[in-house]
């Protein structure tokens, strides 16, 4: 379960098999990054911060 401020990371096995395609979804004044692997970040008012978190997720190799 994800609490506020935490970012959910998928299992290493699942992440290794999936191509990361991150999108930013807008919810009112907030933007939330979501990835095709199941990862998602917290909703932010700062679009640049949400984009940076999404880019960091795309470039982070799976643990293992």
18-47 pLDDT, tens digit per residue, is 678 899 999 999 999 999 888 999 999 999
Quote the number of domains for the chain: 1
Q: What angle do CA 16, 21, 25 make, to 5 degrees?
A: 135
In a domain, 3, yes or no: no
Is the pTM of the predicted complex or chain greater than 0.75? Answer: no
Instruction: Determine the pLDDT at residue 2.
Output: 47
Residue 62's closest CA among 20, 7, 32, 4? 20
In a domain, 32, yes or no: yes
In a domain, 47, yes or no: yes
Hey, what are 44's tokens?
Answer: 């932010």
In a domain, 33, yes or no: yes
In a domain, 55, yes or no: yes
């Amino acid at each position: 379960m994800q609490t506020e401020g935490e970012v959910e990371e998928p299992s290493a096995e699942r992440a290794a098999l999936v191509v990361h395609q991150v999108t930013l979804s807008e919810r009112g004044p907030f933007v939330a990054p979501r990835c095709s692997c199941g990862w998602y970040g917290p909703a932010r008012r700062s679009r640049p911060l949400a984009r940076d978190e999404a880019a960091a997720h795309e470039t982070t190799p799976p643990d293992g």
